Chains A and B, each alone.
Chain A
Amino acid sequence: MNLSKDLVAASSTPLVLGIVAEGETYGYEIVKRVEMLSGGQLSWTEGMMYPLLHRLEQQGLLEARWRIAETGRKRKYYGLTELGLKSLAQQQQQWQMINNALARVWDNLNNAAKTGSLGARSSGGNGNEFQPA
């Protein structure tokens, strides 16, 4: 699915924080995890994730450690700081709120479509095609 740039940018931070919160991890694993969580629909330009990780590190939300991986290569592992944990909780609330609001408005739209009270627009059937100008 092709998501807008803004949406990818906005959602990547809570997504990364959430994945790191599951346990210390590294870049490649995060990408795999995102793919898995989104059923393969969400794929980033992978290189772009590293600057994001570094930014979160600068903001004190993540901390990084270099270790030797089982492959014998140096690998940078990221873990969540306490500050990161707090920020994650906050973002969780915010996204939940947006999610609820969207769910409600779409629910209304769908119901309206079923009863036909939306007039011409309702011919589209499901509310997803209804876009604000």
Chain B
Amino acid sequence: MNSNPPNPFHLTESLHQWRSQLARNPALKSEDLDELEDHLQSHIEALTAAGLKADEAFLIACKRVGEVNNLSEQYAEVHSGRLWHNLFQASETHRNPLDLIVVLVLAVAAAALFKLPDLLGFAPVESDTEFFYIRNISLFCIPMLGFYFVYKRELGRAGFVVWAASVVALALVLNLYPFQAIENSHSTLLLAALHVPIVLWFLVGVLYTGDYWQSTAKQMNFIRFSGEFVIYYVLIALGGAVVALFTLGMFSFIGIHVEWFVQLWLIPCGAMGAVVVAGWLVEAKQSAIENMAPVLTRLFTPMFAALLLVFLITMLVTGRNFDIQRELLIGLDLMLVLVLGLVLYAVSSREPAAPVNYFDKLLLLLIVSALAVNILALGAMIGRISHMGFTPNRVAALGENIVLLVSLTGYAWLYGQFLRRRIGFHSIERWQTGYVPVYAAWALIVVAVFPLVFGFA
């Protein structure tokens, strides 16, 4: 060994260092590292065979593979699902401490905004004639979440103005339209209040992507974000319920009644602030939960498929399909929305390059049975309209059914093609992200156009 110059180069060690440097980036899984390392080694072998020394060969091979940062970026673009949470923070190695402060301020602002009209005596909770809180509830919390993403994605003044203007426009529509109660029904008002969150959520998505809804990968990330958000929100709500119960119980044991505090402060303020906090948690702490969400979809997909199939068969066997009541239709539509959410999430949590497996077939079964239920509901809806005429509720349900029908048909068709290996999974993702604006557009129509068409009934 003494004959060697004092340059003890250890190839294995250098390879190990190189690999661990790449491994720091979540864009690359260990499979990718294996692949790249094999490439590097093949190249080194070829170069040393051509007469280069090991260290020289290593340097050249590394250089040819490319800069670690560029490489990570490219991987991130292709494998957005794998690391969707890190897409935007690839360059940030440390979390910004300012984040937490911004989140807390926005959460408190959401809660304060909710209590403000109440404290000013503008709309006491008891006077439900105005429906003030019902119609505005999403306008207290979702805007704050939007502001968080304006800050987080560094959208600057333009992002701030776009978001503030959209929120103000929706608020004006909801509060300045002369909604009136005819025969004690507030159809268009309730419909508008129900659809405003969908419009707002889509706009949050536009901000979330950070590039105003330009790239499919980031749109898919937003769908993942939405799924995780629901899970986090439910978890926070469960925790909040426990806190509320303990607060009530502990104080009642010592003879002090704090119901007013729990009802008027703890629950509403918590519910508002939790929207911002849940959004931030999904952004900051995804890895804890991202293994759970695909498991949940796998659990619920077969359950819902079975439920829908049994329901369909029961209806056909008992011949009750022509006699669908209003309540059942509402229930069916709600279930279809839920199933659609499940499909959206299942598609976005799937590794696109994985081969066709049994779960894909199961999902197609779910989609097809949902499609059958959808057609059934659509038929009943058209029947009701032709017998009893147009009402805002019926037209809204009809439109929703048609939007869902197109969406589900697209899924069913593409999944069929995918299972027969005629297309890549990529096409299903594109259909999914391409159709998201349609839901928002329909919701916007219900919010802004319906009241005008139906005379604010």
A58 partner, pick from B37, B75, B424, beta carbons under 8 A: B424
A60 / chain B contacts, CB cutoff of 8 Å: 418, 421, 423-426
Measured CA separation A54–B65 after assembly (Å): 16
Measured CA separation A47–B71 after assembly (Å): 6
B70 touches A48 (CB 8 A): yes
A50 touches B32 (CB 8 A): yes
Measured CA separation A71–B42 after assembly (Å): 9
Measured CA separation A101–B426 after assembly (Å): 32
Identify whether the interface residues of B are mostly helix, strand, loop, or mixed.
Answer: helix
B38 partner, pick from A43, A54, A73, beta carbons under 8 A: A73
Using known A-B contacts A59-B426, A60-B424, A82-B421, determine if residue A74 contacts B34 with beta carbons closer than 8 Å.
yes
Chain B 340-362, CB-CB to A under 8 Å as 1, else 0, gives 00000000000011010000000
Using known A-B contacts A59-B424, A60-B424, determine if residue A28 contacts B70 with beta carbons closer than 8 Å.
no
Chain A 27-49, CB-CB to B under 8 Å as 1, else 0, gives 11001000000000001011110
- Residue in chain A with minimal CB distance to B45: A71
Chain B 51-73, CB-CB to A under 8 Å as 1, else 0, gives 00000000000001110001100
A51 / chain B contacts, CB cutoff of 8 Å: 74-75, 77-79
**B128 contacts partner chain A, Cβ-Cβ < 8 Å:** no
A74 touches B424 (CB 8 A): no
**A1 contacts partner chain B, Cβ-Cβ < 8 Å:** no
- Residue in chain B with minimal CB distance to A47: B66
A61 touches B32 (CB 8 A): no
- Smallest distance from the beta carbon of A65 to chain B beta carbons, Å? 10
**B394 contacts partner chain A, Cβ-Cβ < 8 Å:** no
A45 touches B353 (CB 8 A): no
A50 touches B423 (CB 8 A): no
Interface size class of A (residues with CB under 8 A): 20 to 34
- Residue in chain B with minimal CB distance to A63: B355
B34 touches A58 (CB 8 A): no
Measured CA separation A28–B40 after assembly (Å): 8
Measured CA separation A71–B426 after assembly (Å): 34
B65 touches A47 (CB 8 A): yes
- Smallest distance from the beta carbon of B436 to chain A beta carbons, Å? 20
A74 touches B66 (CB 8 A): no
Measured CA separation A60–B353 after assembly (Å): 7
A55 partner, pick from B35, B41, B78, B427, beta carbons under 8 A: B78
B424 touches A47 (CB 8 A): no
B71 touches A48 (CB 8 A): yes
B64 touches A83 (CB 8 A): no
A45 touches B64 (CB 8 A): yes
**A3 contacts partner chain B, Cβ-Cβ < 8 Å:** no
**B94 contacts partner chain A, Cβ-Cβ < 8 Å:** no
A45 / chain B contacts, CB cutoff of 8 Å: 64-66, 70
A64 touches B32 (CB 8 A): no
- Smallest distance from the beta carbon of A35 to chain B beta carbons, Å? 11
- Smallest distance from the beta carbon of A58 to chain B beta carbons, Å? 4
**A10 contacts partner chain B, Cβ-Cβ < 8 Å:** no
- Smallest distance from the beta carbon of B73 to chain A beta carbons, Å? 9
B74 touches A83 (CB 8 A): no
**B162 contacts partner chain A, Cβ-Cβ < 8 Å:** no
- Smallest distance from the beta carbon of B19 to chain A beta carbons, Å? 13
CB interface residues, B 11-57, toward A, < 8 Å: 31-32, 34-39, 41-43, 45
- Smallest distance from the beta carbon of B428 to chain A beta carbons, Å? 10
B77 / chain A contacts, CB cutoff of 8 Å: 51
CB interface residues, B 408-437, toward A, < 8 Å: 418, 421-427
**A81 contacts partner chain B, Cβ-Cβ < 8 Å:** yes
B70 / chain A contacts, CB cutoff of 8 Å: 45, 47-48
B interface residues (Cβ-Cβ under 8 A, vs A): 31-32, 34-39, 41-43, 45, 64-66, 70-71, 74-75, 77-79, 352-353, 355, 418, 421-427
Identify 9 new A-B residue pairs, CB closer than 8 A, beyond the known A28-B39, A50-B75.
Answer: A28-B38, A46-B43, A59-B425, A60-B425, A73-B38, A75-B35, A75-B38, A83-B421, A83-B422
Q: Write 22 A-B pairs (CB below 8 A) sorted by A numbering.
A: A27-B39, A28-B38, A28-B39, A46-B64, A47-B36, A47-B65, A47-B71, A48-B66, A50-B32, A50-B36, A51-B78, A54-B78, A54-B79, A57-B353, A58-B78, A60-B421, A66-B31, A73-B38, A75-B35, A76-B31, A76-B34, A82-B421
